Structure 1
Amino acid sequence: MARPRAFDEEQVLNAVREQFWNAGYAATSLQDLMRVSGLGKGSLYAAFGDKRQLFLRALRSYIDESHGHMRKALAEAPRALDALRALLETPIDDPAGAGMRRGCLMANSTCELGNADPEVLDQAHRGYEKSTALIGECVARAQREGDLPAEADPIALARALLAAQQGLVFMSRTGLDSATLAATGRSLAARLLPDHPGS
């Protein structure tokens, strides 16, 4: 009879995800993973597989969690247009508090591994398509609320908004100051989401 695991799998997965997010895949060693998880090599690999499989699990959990947050934020805004503008106007902070902006784990991983690992590229593609669909649903709601032109293509606008948002995240990694990032976000929102006569 197998012994029950003496660790919280979700807690371990979150810890290794933070490690991959902070350092990247290549720069993360087995010793790093053992340190942040508190597990030995045997326990870690028995539960999650090798480093690559562990990374893919961490990336999937990040994508799923990100979509959960996005779905909630888009749905709970009093008006859809406010939620769409917040995608570009919300300040980009450093959640790690480590004096660096980490960017988006999915985008970082695509840049680092996309050309060499088809599964990472596939996860990123699926992730961006899901994000586009969620934003597109919010665009359609803004159209029903009279805040965006009815003739606009919701998916086309959603892709433009996602590309703009990811561009801001990437720019934040270069060290661009918060005030400039915020001003750029407002400028993008004004161009992509102009006030509609019906709003």
Structure 2
Amino acid sequence: MARSVQNQYGGGMARPREFDEHRVMLAVRDAFWDKGYAGTSMDDLLRASGLGKGSLYGAFGDKRSLFLRVLREYDDANLRALRERLATSARAIDFVREFALGPAGDPSGAVARRGCLLANSNAELATSTPEVAAEARRSYGLIAATLTEALERAQREGDLAPDADPAETARAVLVAQLGLIALGRTGTDVAALAAMGDSALARLLPAPRR
């Protein structure tokens, strides 16, 4: 979406400056993701966005406001993608496994080392920034609800034991994935991450007795 920003200089009005707001938000998101909140300077954000300080502040507010907006948009986009993947998955149990093993999905290890913007931000800021903790609770709650829905479907499809509690199992799967994210950030070998994930899922997702 293009956005027009007007700045005043002296007594005149500058020509409106057009920029692609979506592109700017993605660039700023990546700056925060790569360096963390504290490690990202205003110069980093100006360089990533391609905007002047007045334009950036005028459009998005200060660094804190911009970060909170980036985090919310990142979470909402991930949740939409998660819902879409569930809707198009042939088997719900495969969707759950793919979600849990996501941190080990890139053989190069780059995805694992980069981590998740939400998990990274929660680890860095939750104790000092209540808005980040609240956003993490909101997002993780919605993810758990989506996993619960998937596991209920897996039971109907005959891929999960009927006596398994979908809500409890969903929370456990989320915890397992967050553990893999944390370990992936340390540079743990991707094959080791995958093996740990498979071991956890073997216990968390019991198949029905045949």
Q: TM-score by structure 2 length?
A: 0.87
Q: Deviations over 1:30-76 (max 9, x none)?
A: 00000000001100010000000000011011101111221122222
Question: What's the offset of the Cα at 1:172?
Answer: 0.6
Residue 137 (structure 2) pairs with residue 125 (structure 1): yes
Q: Are residue 93 (structure 1) and residue 106 (structure 2) matched?
A: yes
Aligned CA distance change for structure 1 residues 189 and 154 (closer, same or farther; 3 Å): same
Provide closer, same or farther for how the CA distance between residues 95 and 112 of structure 1 changes in structure 2, counting only shifts above 3 A. farther
Give me the whole-angstrom Cα distance separating, in 1, the residues matched to 2:35 and 2:101. 27
What's 1:192 paired with? 204
Residue number in structure 1 paired with 2:89: 77
Distance in 1 (alpha carbons) for counterparts of 2:138 and 2:183: 23
SS at match of 1:101: helix
Contact 1:103–1:172 (CA under 8 A) maintained in structure 2: yes
Report the CA distance between 1:191 and its aligned residue: 1.2
Q: Let me know the Cα RMSD of the aligned residues.
A: 2.2
Query: Letter of the aligned partner of 1:104 in structure 2?
Result: C
Partner Cα separation in structure 1 for residue 17 and residue 137 of structure 2? 33
Alpha-carbon distance, 1:143 to partner: 1.1
Shift of 1:158: 0.4
Aligned residue for 1:172?
184
Residue 52 of structure 1 corresponds to: 64
- The CA distance in 2 between the partners of 1:177 and 1:96, in whole Å, is 7
Instruction: Give TM-score scaled by structure 1 length.
Output: 0.91
> Residues 2-32 of structure 1: CA distance to partner in whole angstroms, max 9, x if unpaired?
7565001111011000000000000110000
Count of residues in correspondence between the two structures: 197
Give unmatched runs, 5+ long, in structure 2: 7-15
Specify the SS of the correspondent of 1:7: strand
Is residue 153 of structure 1 aligned with residue 165 of structure 2? yes
Larger radius of gyration: 2
Structure 2 CA distance for aligned equivalents of residues 44 and 115 of structure 1: 27
16-25 or 186-195, which deviates more: 186-195
1:41 equivalent in structure 2? 53
> What letter matches 1:179 in structure 2?
A
Give aligned-pair identity as a percent.
52
Comparing 10-19 with 66-75, which one deviates more in the overlay? 66-75
Higher relative contact order (CA closer than 8 Å, sequence separation 6+): 1
Offset, 1:94: 8.4
